[in-house]
Amino acid sequence: MLSNKVEEALNAQVNAEMWSAYFYLSMSCHFASEGLAGVANWYNVQSQEEQAHALKLIKYLVSRNSRVNLSSIADVPTKWNSIKDALNATLAHEQRVTGMINNLYAVAEEEKDYATREMLNGFISEQVEEEDTVRGLIDKINLIGEDGTGIYQFDKELAARVYTTPAFCK
Ligand code: MG
């Protein structure tokens, strides 16, 4: 059984991961309506990954004989001015999530909860990857600028992303 502090912190993270899923789904819908099907696909896959993160935490809570409390998901933005604008918001969001995961890790350490700390290792590595991927996309979109052909190619590239359950969530 988990301590109340760890249980509460993990439940808060479930909500944060679901908010992330909702945030990226909103971006996916926005870009679909802008005619950028590839960018919409990329954000849809991103949203699915966030749901997998939430489910990983839920499964862990259950396995530790703890309570899962699904609370309401706060509203998300619905509009972005450009791909660059959305990607910058994505990077800022992922940096916030990295901070949350680090705080969660610190709580597990304080509580001497080594199993939770071990489970969180996957999330720690995932955040490094998330930030790096988004930075790479920002670099590309900065090179492209307003070039229509470039945006067409970028959209096509993002259309190729296929969802697979992250290894640490299986
Ligand atoms: Mg996540």
Structure confidence by residue, pLDDT tens digits, 72-105: 999 999 999 999 999 999 999 999 999 999 999 9
Query: How many angstroms is it from 140 CA to the middle of ligand 1?
Result: 23
Whole-number pLDDT of residue 97: 97
Query: How many angstroms is it from 50 CA to the middle of ligand 1?
Result: 5
DSSP string, the chain: ---HHHHHHHHHHHHHHHHHHHHHHHHHHHHHHTT-HHHHHHHHHHHHHHHHHHHHHHHHHHHTT-----PPPPP-----SSHHHHHHHHHHHHHHHHHHHHHHHHHHHHTT-HHHHHHHHHHHHHHHHHHHHHHHHHHHHHHHTT-HHHHHHHHHHHHT------GGG-
Tell me the per-residue pLDDT of 14-39, one tens digit each, with 9 for 90 and over.
Answer: 999 999 999 999 999 999 999 999 99
Query: How many angstroms is it from 148 CA to the middle of ligand 1?
Result: 32
Query: How many angstroms is it from 47 CA to the middle of ligand 1?
Result: 9
Whole-number pLDDT of residue 137: 98
Query: How many angstroms is it from 125 CA to the middle of ligand 1?
Result: 11
Query: How many angstroms is it from 53 CA to the middle of ligand 1?
Result: 5
Query: How many angstroms is it from 70 CA to the middle of ligand 1?
Result: 16
Whole-number pLDDT of residue 150: 98
Query: How many angstroms is it from 46 CA to the middle of ligand 1?
Result: 9
Residue 31, CA distances (Å) to 36, 62, 143, 169 in order: 5, 36, 20, 27
Quick one: CA dihedral 8, 11, 17, 18, positive or negative?
Answer: negative
Query: How many angstroms is it from 97 CA to the middle of ligand 1?
Result: 7
% of the chain beyond a pLDDT of 90: 99
Query: How many angstroms is it from 17 CA to the middle of ligand 1?
Result: 5
Q: What is the C-alpha to C-alpha distance for residues 35 and 50, in angstroms, rounded to an integer?
A: 24
* pTM of the predicted model as reported, rounded to 2 decimal places: 0.96
What are the backbone dihedrals phi and psi of residue 164, each rounded to the nearest 5 degrees, phi first? -135, 145
Kindly report the CATH number assigned to the domain that includes residue 33: 1.20.1260.10
Whole-number pLDDT of residue 128: 97
Average of pLDDT values for 61-79?
A: 97
Does the pLDDT value for residue 63 go beyond 90? yes
Does the pLDDT value for residue 165 go beyond 90? yes
Does the pLDDT value for residue 1 go beyond 90? no
Whole-number pLDDT of residue 141: 98
Domain that holds residue 56: 4-169
Average of pLDDT values for 122-143?
A: 97
Query: How many angstroms is it from 49 CA to the middle of ligand 1?
Result: 7
Q: How many distinct structural domains can be found in the chain? A: 1
DSSP 167: G
Does the pLDDT value for residue 109 go beyond 90? yes
- Rounded to the nearest integer, the mean pLDDT of the chain is 97
